[in-house]
């Protein structure tokens, strides 16, 4: 069985400027001033840690999405591991970078990945592997419980509550984290296409979902249940503190070096 992995150049979320984001207050504030140093800061560490923990013994290709392919560092990989760099359009708003990745995922699966691989995993790049992330995580459609919400009552899940958005949800099963998702090429392409379509319809109506592509992903997974749901150990934030049910931390949110990543 052959695998494929996506690395997405994705900026952390901030307050939305459009309708459904009004009144939102978040801890991690960042703007579009992050530049190529984002790749320097996170990509090398991400791939190096992946080489020690992700799908060991299986063929893996890293697809790196960036608007600056010439800045991707040279990284030594193990046997049956390779990197493909995909140049994407540069956007001035990080929100558009986040949302437009869904179109890129769909397009690259159709043009390349489908002919060479069986499964795809999509990751944010600002993370570090610290434990086994192997074939036990494979499935037809794989979603991840968000570390900040999995123990909370549903009433506190931050679904998009704006009826004007295509991501609107009144209720759901779980709250999923868009930092990690995957499955077969067919299922991931279907998810990406549906999310992109919803994003574009929202744009036409001057609406932006509360958590952008993550809101659309949650809507899709509410309507199309994933075949496998990963626990937060597969993407944990140490700032949450101790949790007795998280005994193994397999992937960690990397520290956000905003002071050094911002342009002067």
Which residues are tagged catalytic?
214
CB-based contact 40:73 (threshold 8 Å): yes
Half-sphere exposure of 50 (CA within 13 A, CB side): 29
CB-based contact 161:211 (threshold 8 Å): no
Rounded CA separation 94/97 (Å) = 5
- Partnered with residue 262 across adjacent β-strands are 34
Q: What is the DSSP string of 181-229?
A: EEEEHHHHHHHHHHHHHHHHHHHHTT---TTTHHHHHHHHHHHS--SEE
């Amino acid at each position: 069985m052959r695998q494929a992995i996506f690395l997405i150049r994705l900026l952390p979320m901030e307050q939305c400027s459009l309708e459904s984001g009004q009144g939102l207050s978040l801890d991690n504030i960042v703007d579009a001033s992050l530049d190529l140093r984002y790749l320097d800061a996170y990509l090398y560490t991400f791939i190096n840690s992946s080489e020690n923990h992700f799908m060991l013994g299986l063929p893996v290709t890293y697809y790196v999405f960036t608007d600056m392919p010439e800045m991707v560092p040279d990284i030594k990989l193990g046997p049956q591991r390779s990197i493909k760099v995909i140049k994407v359009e540069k956007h001035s708003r990080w929100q558009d970078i986040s949302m437009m990745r869904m179109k890129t995922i769909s397009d690259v699966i159709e043009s390349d990945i489908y002919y060479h691989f069986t499964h795809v995993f999509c990751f944010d790049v600002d993370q570090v592997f610290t434990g086994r992330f192997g074939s036990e995580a494979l499935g037809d459609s794989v979603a991840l419980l968000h570390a900040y919400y999995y123990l909370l009552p549903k009433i506190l899940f931050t679904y998009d509550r704006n009826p004007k958005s295509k991501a609107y949800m009144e209720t759901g099963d779980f709250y999923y984290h868009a930092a990690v998702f995957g499955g077969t090429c067919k299922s991931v392409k279907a998810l990406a296409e549906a999310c992109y379509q919803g994003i574009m319809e929202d744009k036409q109506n001057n609406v932006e979902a509360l958590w952008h592509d993550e809101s659309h992903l949650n809507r899709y997974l509410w309507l199309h249940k994933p075949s496998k749901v990963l626990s937060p150990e597969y993407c944990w934030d140490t700032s949450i503190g101790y949790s007795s049910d998280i005994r193994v931390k397999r992937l960690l949110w990397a520290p956000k070096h905003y002071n050094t990543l911002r342009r002067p």
